Every structure is written in C-alpha cells, then in structure tokens.
Amino acid sequence: MGRPITRLKDIANRTGFSVNTVSLALRDSPRIPEDTRLTIRQAAEALNYLPNHIAKSLVSRETKTVGLVLTSITNPVLTRVAQAIELRLAERGYSTLFATSNGDPEEQKKVIEMFRSRQVDGMLIYPSSHRDLDHIRRVRQAGHPVVLLVGDPDAGVDVVSMDTRQGGYKAVRHLLELGHRRIGLIDGGHERGNLEKAEGYRQALAEAGIGVDDGLLVAPRTHSVAGGHAAMAELMARGAGMTALLAATDSLALGALRWTQEKGLRVPDDMAIVGFDNIEFAEYAATPISSVDYAVARVTELAVERLIGLIGADALPEPQVKLIEPELVLRASSEG
C-alpha cells in the first residue's frame, strides 16, 4: 500500500475549522486571522500535509516545472549551466527536472517524451545532434515551449547559444596570427552533426589561404582528458608537422597538454594549445590553457527568459535564434 495522503479535510477535522478556511489559511489569505492561520499551519505540519500540485495544475494548466535535457552529467560546463538554470528558474517559481541523453539520439527522444508525459511547462534542451532536430521540431509544432541551448540557426526551434562557429574561428585566427600554419583539431563533433567549431576552424584557415589537411584532424574516442591524451598521441604519430592545436573542449586540451609534458615538448614554444569552454581546470593547469569562454551566466539568463516568455504566450511566436559572441581568453598555453 502507498503512504496515506493528508487531505484538507483531515486538517479541518483536526482543527475544527471548515475545509474552505483551511484552504485559505494555507494560501496565507489575509481574510483569515493570523492566529487561525498559525493553528492550521501547525496542524498541517503535524500531519505532514503537502499541497496537491497535480490538482492545482489541472486548474491552472501549469505544473510550474521545466525539463532540462543534458547530453552529459560529467561535462563541467553543463554542470555549471544546469546549476545556473535551476537557480534562475527557482527565482521565477519553477522547479527543474533533469535528465541525460548521454549523447544518444534515441535516448534523447525517450527523455523528451517522459517530460511531456509529466506535463512540464517547457523544456531546455542540449540536443545530441545540432542538425537532426526533427523530433524536437515536432514537439514545438505541437505547441510545447522548447528552447535549444545549442543548435542550427535554421533549426525552426528557439535557440539561445554561444556562437561556437565564431569561437572556433577566433581561436584559429589567434594561432595564425602567432605564425602557426600547421594547426591540428581534436573534435568529434562531426560524428553527431555538431559541426560549428570545425566550420570556424576551416573558415579561418581558408581566409589565410591554407587548405585543410585531414592529417591534422582527429576525432577523440571520448571527450574526457584521457580522450584528449590519446587523440594528441594519434595526431603526433602521423608526423604531420603540427605546431599548434585547437581542442573542442578544455578536457581534451588538458589531455593534450599532459601528452606534451610527458614527451618533453615546451608549451607554447614547441606546441601551442587552445581549448574551449574556459573551465576552472584550464585556468589552473600546470600551463594555464587559452580557451574560448562559455558565457554561462548570459546563456542561462537569456534561455530562461525566452522559455518563460514562451510558456506565458497564448500561442507560440516565430522561433528566435540568439547566438552570443564568445570571448577568447588568452593564457600561457598559446602566448607564453
């Protein structure tokens, strides 16, 4: 048997007041004298009363909950984003439900349907693919507020994101200006359709009149520090003459940095390294790592603001795409 549920009637029976008086008191109505409200609140606490949010949602058609879909719980940036979103939503009176797709598109679909079945008021989603968004588009077309935290500018869904294409471009331009011409890239994004960082890399090389050498590109087996270490070893084993590296995350960059230390390479004299996301570990690495900053506060502020606006709309407006220009934070790994 399930646990007994305390009803308003139970509190009324305990205190001798009517159910309507109990209801008003628990909503802190000024119509009820303060001493009566105190008596009723004390009785509710003694009986372990909890408000029936399901019943309230049937009346208001709002559950005051938002679903947040992450691709990973181990990514330091996503952890910071999740915390910031939870705090911002709480300020607006919303609770946050978390789920992780682990980068699996099918698991992402299951998570989204689970949130829909729980009747969340809206969803904030890190899609497992920035291009394969048909399922998410259908959710929006059905009238459910959704904001993507990364995505294609032509997604047909609201997007609030860092401009990672511009971030990749800025990082490579920086390395080119330092005189590097053989610049490697550790980025597995193309395997899942997350092409933006690599597109920025290619754009910067093209503007400098440098062709893309596939020998300087590698997809890591994992997006961990160990994955960056292994990817760096693979790149260097090819003997492609690489003198600089862009890694798609700071975790990958940390792994690459560790490999250079083991092999006695000087950073940045022998190998310049730039990462992505500007996590704390990058700043305090043995050689502090230059990185494209992920503006957590700005992204979460705008994403929550947009989602709350969609939730409150009578009908969903045309999707908007907001891309935030990233800042390149320069440190010893590239500038010495």
Cα 229 from Cα 49, distance rounded (Å): 54
Measure the CA–CA gap between 304 and 111, rounded to whole angstroms: 20
Cα separation, 291 vs 294, whole angstroms: 9
Q: What digits encode the pLDDT tens for the residues 10-67?
A: 888 999 999 889 888 888 888 899 999 999 989 888 888 876 655 554 444 567 899 9
> What pLDDT does residue 44 have?
87
Question: What's the pLDDT at 193?
Answer: 52
Other Cβ atoms less than 10 A from the Cβ of 138: the count is 11
pLDDT on residue 3? 53
Give the pLDDT band of residue 336 (cuts 50, 70, 90).
low
Estimate the crossing angle of helix 76-91 against helix 296-312, to 10 degrees.
40
User: What is the rounded distance in angstroms from the CA atom of residue 217 to the CA atom of residue 195?
Assistant: 13
Please enumerate, as own/partner, the contacts of 42-50 that have beta carbons within 8 Å and a separation of 24 or more.
43/11, 43/14, 43/15, 44/6, 44/11, 46/14, 47/6, 47/10, 47/11, 47/14, 48/6, 49/6, 49/10, 49/11, 50/6
Q: DSSP secondary structure string, 92-113?
A: TT-EEEEEE-TT-HHHHHHHHH
Tens digits of residue pLDDT in 105-125 = 899 999 999 998 888 999 999
For the chain, what are the domain ranges? Answer: 8-51, 61-162+296-324, 164-294
CATH class of this structure's domain 164-294: alpha beta
pLDDT tens digit sequence for 58-107: 444 567 899 999 988 888 899 999 999 999 999 999 999 999 998 888 99
The pLDDT value given to residue 1: 41
Measured over the CA atoms of residue 69, residue 74, residue 77 and residue 79, the dihedral's sign is positive
Distance CA 49, CA 261 (A): 60
Q: What are phi and psi of 292, to 5 degrees?
A: -80, 120
**Which tokens in the block code for residue 257?**
């940095």
Choose among 16, 11, 14: nearest CA to 26. 11
The whole-angstrom separation of Cα 246 and Cα 173 is 11
User: Do 61-162+296-324 and 164-294 show the same overall fold?
Assistant: yes
* DSSP conformational letter for 214: G
4, amino acid identity? P
Number of H helices, E strands in the chain: 14, 12
For residue 60, the model assigns a pLDDT of: 45
Using an 8 Å Cβ cutoff, are 198 and 165 in contact?
A: no
Position 252 scores a pLDDT of 96
Taking the CA atoms of residue 192, residue 193, residue 196 and residue 198 in that order, the dihedral angle to the nearest 10 degrees is 70
Average pLDDT of the chain to the nearest whole number: 90
Q: What's the confidence (pLDDT) of residue 162?
A: 93
pLDDT of residue 167: 96
**Total-model pTM:** 0.80
- What value does the mean pLDDT take over residues 171-197? 87
3-class DSSP state for residue 31? Answer: coil
Q: What is the per-residue pLDDT across 126-182, written as a single tens digit (0 to 9) for each?
A: 998 877 888 999 999 989 999 999 877 777 899 999 999 999 999 999 999 999 999
pLDDT of residue 191: 53
Question: How does residue 219 score in pLDDT terms, banded at 50, 70 and 90?
Answer: very high
**Which among 81, 89, 88, 129 has a CA at the least distance from the CA of 105?**
129
Q: Using alpha carbons, select from 169, 170, 171, 148 the residue that is nearest to residue 160.
A: 148
CATH of domain 61-162+296-324: 3.40.50.2300
pLDDT at 243 over 50: yes
Long-range contact set of residues 175-178: C-beta below 8 Å, sequence gap at least 24: 175/244, 175/246, 175/272, 175/274, 175/334, 176/204, 176/205, 176/208, 176/210, 178/244, 178/268, 178/272, 178/334, 178/335
